Amino acid sequence: MPNNRIPHPTTTILAGVLDFAALDEPTLEALAQVAVRRAYGGNQTVFFEGEPGVGLYVVESGWFKAVKISADGREQVIHFLGPGETFNALSVFTELPNQATVVAMESSVTWLIPRQAMLQMLDTHPSLARAMIQNLATRVRHLVALVEDLSLHTVEARLARMLLKSGSDGAVQRQRWATQSEMAARLGTVPDVVSRSLRKLAADGLIRVSRHEIQILDVDGLKEKAMLE
């Protein structure tokens, strides 16, 4: 007899998450049953650094940024997060408070899977545990690279690296929220310095800047800039 059971609508969303790729449909269905939908407006805070971690967030739509904020309000962007990505995995494995503040960049939707539900899944699905640990290791590598960039490279070199990493088909598409202030927060500097660096790369014939995108005109030249210290 055919199975006409209609799966929980959130199952399809969770199935598109890399961490959950090895899970079968019944397991995804079980996660979907406990997942809590949360919608955010642009510039709305999801949680603050230091607050208790409550579980794993899965991004359905929109964009978020994870940031560290200094006492004087200056931001250092750690990561931008888009559809299909997860954040706050550390709170699943430990009882440490949130290690960064996460803010929605635009109207966005997440699904929150409570910590206890995730722990139960990790106990019974080793493949899920391996996938999440691999994801955490990737994030650690990203943080090490970020420290290296901030410590050892000029803003111009960091900007060149960011453009090369973000580019696709010879261009970097600029999200509506990707202002020079946001670029500066990602690069660990201030907007005026980013503006000067963009103008310098453009004057050197390496890029062309427009309102909606940054075209990469000379990949090899930009790679050379990216290696400057």
Q: What is the CATH number of the domain that holds 55?
A: 2.60.120.10
If asked whether residues 76 and 18 sit together in one domain, one would say: yes
Structural domain total, the chain: 2
Last residue of a domain, one of 124, 150, 176: 150
Asked, for residue 28, whether it belongs to a domain, the answer is yes
If asked whether residues 180 and 129 sit together in one domain, one would say: no
Asked, for residue 204, whether it belongs to a domain, the answer is yes
Q: How far apart are CA 82 and CA 71, in angstroms?
A: 27
If asked whether residues 101 and 163 sit together in one domain, one would say: no
User: What CATH number is given to the structural domain containing 176?
Assistant: 1.10.10.10
Instruction: List own/partner pairs for 120-126 with CB under 8 A and 24 or more apart.
Output: 121/27, 121/30, 121/31, 122/92, 125/22, 125/23, 125/27
Last residue of a domain, one of 127, 150, 173: 150
If asked whether residues 46 and 141 sit together in one domain, one would say: yes
Confidence of residue 86 (pLDDT cuts 50, 70, 90): very high
Residue-wise pLDDT tens digits, 180-196: 888 898 898 999 999 99
pLDDT at position 5 is 54
Asked, for residue 3, whether it belongs to a domain, the answer is no
Pairing of strands 75-81, 64-69: antiparallel
Confidence of residue 229 (pLDDT cuts 50, 70, 90): very low
Last residue of a domain, one of 131, 150, 169: 150
Asked, for residue 195, whether it belongs to a domain, the answer is yes
Confidence of residue 216 (pLDDT cuts 50, 70, 90): very high
pLDDT at position 204 is 93
Mean pLDDT over the full length of the chain: 88
Q: What would the 3-class secondary structure string for the chain be?
A: CCCCCCCCHHHHHHHCCHHHCCCCHHHHHHHHHHCEEEEECCCCEEECCCCECCEEEEEEECCEEEEEECCCCCEEEEEEECCCCEECCHHHHCCCECCCEEEECCCEEEEEEEHHHHHHHHHHCHHHHHHHHHHHHHHHHHHHHHHHHHHHCCHHHHHHHHHHHHCECCEEECCCCCCHHHHHHHHCCCHHHHHHHHHHHHHCCCEEECCCEEEECCHHHHHHHHCCC
If asked whether residues 20 and 130 sit together in one domain, one would say: yes
Asked, for residue 2, whether it belongs to a domain, the answer is no
pLDDT at position 178 is 81
Residue-wise pLDDT tens digits, 21-78: 878 888 888 889 999 999 999 999 999 999 999 999 999 999 999 999 988 888 999 9
What is the domain range of residue 29?
Answer: 9-150
If asked whether residues 132 and 33 sit together in one domain, one would say: yes
Residue-wise pLDDT tens digits, 108-158: 999 999 999 999 888 888 888 888 888 889 888 888 888 888 888 899 999
